[in-house]
Amino acid sequence: MEKRFDFLVIGSGIAGLSFALKVAGHGKVAVVCKGQLDETNTAYAQGGIASVMYPPDNFEKHIHDTLVCGDGLCDEKVVRMVVEEAPAQIKQLMEWGVNFDKKDDGTIDLAKEGGHSEHRILHHKDSTGREIQRALCQKVREHKNIQVFEHHFAVDLITQHHLGMLVKSHHTNIECYGAYVLDIPTGKVYKFLAKIVLIATGGSGNVYYSTTNPAVATGDGIAMVYRAKGVIEDMEFMQFHPTSLYNPGERPSFLITEALRGAGAILRTQDGKEFMHKYDPRGSLATRDIVARAIDNEMKIRGDEYVYLDARHLNKEEVMTHFPTIYQKCKSVGIDIFKEMIPVVPAAHFLCGGIKTDINGRSWINRLYAAGEAACTGLHGANRLASNSLLEAIVFAERASRDALQHFRSYAIPSEIPEWNDSGTTYPEEMVLITQNMKEMQSIMTSYVGIVRSDLRLKRAMNRLSIIFEETEELYKKTKLSKALCELRNLITVCYLIIKSAQQRRESVGLHYNVDCPHRRIKKE
């Protein structure tokens, strides 16, 4: 059972759909996504997308802010390139129909977020991602060269390994010819063959119990590339967003955008005291690593389960105009944000590491590109600057598309690629074997590999994880493919990569804070 395309795009967020639109004029494109087309992290983005638009802002300031936030580990060449190419990609988004909020004089209304020295966040109220997703989905559905496969789960990349050849980790001669894809409703596994494959599978937040990420964020692309022996990097840098709504049991955790702090909201402990200036002169608008750690520390010292975000003093009309979703959500759980403070806690939000790419989005596997949150391009270093990720996704989708278009016509796909082999497997008898291991995995990561780490906690996490890994591999070998089992297996791989990277990094830097490792001295401004 085989399907052939010029381009196979795995993922339907901003990275996947913008790449698909850019290459679709040149060949047949398949967009594969495991849920509906609009079920993505992208659709959840609130604050917006960063780009230099008007003076007094300029490229040097955006570059400087990104480098400071990345704590010395950004690739400066990549930072400069992304920042300088941002305005052209913003223009492209607007041409595709994305509506960013404007002021009465017709200029774009720019917000400010933590770590930014200027107002440079383009937004659509507090639901920017939904607006971007809407526009891109519409364009993709209209394009005659793009075929959309919803509820299709990419299981494994196809390489020379599937032709019986020996493929070694990190070698430069591995080639990708497509992916085995599970049609979730029918249970059939297809070979999706293509000259070029783009991994745009988004985040991995579900390795933790509390996350702002929707259920689709299970790190599948990273795990697939790891199994295919590509290069994965910087996995220890998981960003915890400082302010998700404290509402126990709600998954995903509802985000209270940083733009609300940009508009003047202030963090306070439960007794009403402002505390951020103890940690950083920028107060509530310091970079996320610092704010999340400060909140974690205050909660531990005081034994509290949350801190407060105080928006009571803000202009009511402005808040209602810019943050209608947050107002409504808080109201729905009984909080009037003009009278009461909002209880907030940090939650896993964004993975800075992932599939290592070059400046054109090429992974270490030939013909395979990666863009968006699944990729590690060098932009974020040890910590991502707010609203730089939608930007990174669209800039790298553009660069990957340009590079792919130069080469794809010369690529042939071998004819002898075998069908998916599930002989000897049976349907799972007990789903509890999967669901319980998922809970245990999230509990291990939350307890031992959270905002503050130690050598002992990491060692313990690895030991516990290895038991779950063995059990899950055993189950996988004898069971027919299911989305739940594949996701668990991928999440366990991502956990392993996070813990391993955290153990190898012998300094506390950016988002990785290990009490047993010295802190890298960097200049925070």
Per the DSSP assignment, residues forming a β-bridge with 178 are: 158, 193
Which region, judged by CB under 6 A, interacts with ligand FAD, from 214-222, 353-361, 429-437, 474-482? 214-222
Eight-class DSSP state of 419: P
Distance (Å, whole) CA 204 – CA 220: 8
Question: Any contact of residue 213 with ligand SIN (CB under 6 A)?
Answer: no
Residue 410: how many other CB atoms lie within 10 Å: 7
Edge-to-edge strand ranges of the sheet holding 232-233: 232-233, 354-356, 375-376
The residue (of 490 and 508) whose beta carbon lies closer to ligand FAD is 490
Residues 185 and 151 sit within 8 Å (Cβ to Cβ): yes
Closest CA to 172 of 153, 157, 159: 159
Please state, in angstroms and rounded to a whole number, the distance separating the CA atoms of residues 201 and 9. Answer: 9
User: Quick one: which of 129, 178, 242, 361 contacts ligand FAD (CB under 6 A)?
Assistant: 129
Least gap, CB of 386 to ligand SIN (angstroms):
4
Contacts of 89 (CB under 8 A, 6+ apart): 51, 391, 394, 395, 398
Which listed option, ligand SIN, ligand FAD, none, makes contact with residue 32 (CB within 5 to 8 Å by class)? Answer: ligand FAD
- Decide: is 51 part of the binding site for ligand SIN (CB under 6 A): no
253 part of the interface to ligand SIN, by CB under 6 A: no
Burial profile 122-158: b = 16 or more Cβ within 10 angstroms, e = fewer: bbbbbbbbbbbbbbbbebbeebebbebbbbbbbbbbb
Site for ligand SIN in 456-515 (CB under 6 A): none
286 touches ligand SIN by CB under 6 A: no
Q: What are phi and psi of 515, to 5 degrees?
A: -60, -20
| Of 71, 156, 234, 258, the one binding ligand SIN by CB under 6 A | 258
Residue 127 touches ligand FAD, criterion: CB under 6 A: no
Build a one-symbol-per-residue string for 291-330: x at contacts with ligand SIN by CB under 6 A, - elsewhere. ----------------------------------------
| DSSP one-letter code for 433 | H
| Closer of 70 and 372 to ligand FAD (Cβ) | 372
204 scored as a contact of ligand FAD (CB under 6 A): no
Q: How far is the CB of 216 from ligand SIN (least distance, A)?
A: 17
Which of ligand SIN, ligand FAD, none has residue 284 at its interface (CB below 5 to 8 Å by kind)?
Answer: none
User: How near is the Cβ of 16 to ligand FAD at its closest, in Å?
Assistant: 6
Stretch near ligand SIN under the rule CB under 6 A, chosen from 4-12, 214-222, 321-329, 383-391: 383-391
Helix axes 128-142, 14-23, angle to 10 degrees: 30
**2-10 vs 188-199, strand pairing mode:** parallel
Taking the complex as a whole, the smallest distance from the CB of residue 76 to ligand SIN amounts, in Å, to 21
288 is a catalytic site residue? yes
Count of other CB atoms within 10 angstroms of residue 328? 11
Element (H, E) at 91: helix 76-95
Residue 223 in the binding site for ligand FAD (CB under 6 A): no
Structure tokens at 408: 């794809």
Given 120, 261, 268, 288, which residue is catalytic? 288
Is 357 a binding residue for ligand FAD by CB under 6 A? The answer is no
E-only strand ranges, 266-367: 266-268, 307-310, 342-351, 354-356
Say whether residue 389 binds ligand FAD (CB under 6 A).
yes
What's the one-letter identity of residue 326?
I
- Out of 42, 357, 442, 482, which residue is the one contacting ligand FAD (CB under 6 A)? 42
Calculate the alpha carbon distances from 5 to 29, 86, 364, 408 in Å.
6, 30, 22, 11
Q: How far is the CB of 257 from ligand SIN (least distance, A)?
A: 3
Residue placing its CB nearer to ligand FAD in the complex, 89 or 201: 201
In whole angstroms, the minimum distance from the beta carbon of 113 to ligand SIN comes to: 6
Judged by CB under 6 A, does residue 387 bind ligand SIN?
Answer: yes
Q: In the chain, what's the furthest Cα-to-Cα distance?
A: 68
Give min distance, CB of 49 to ligand FAD, in A: 6
Q: At its nearest, how many Å lie between ligand SIN and the CB of residue 326?
A: 10
Q: State the catalytic residues.
A: 288
Q: Where on the chain is the footprint of ligand FAD (CB under 6 A)?
A: 10-16, 32-35, 39-42, 44-49, 128-129, 153-154, 200-203, 212-213, 216-217, 220, 255, 350, 372-374, 387-390, 393
Q: Where on the chain is the footprint of ligand SIN (CB under 6 A)?
A: 46-47, 257-259, 350, 386-387, 389
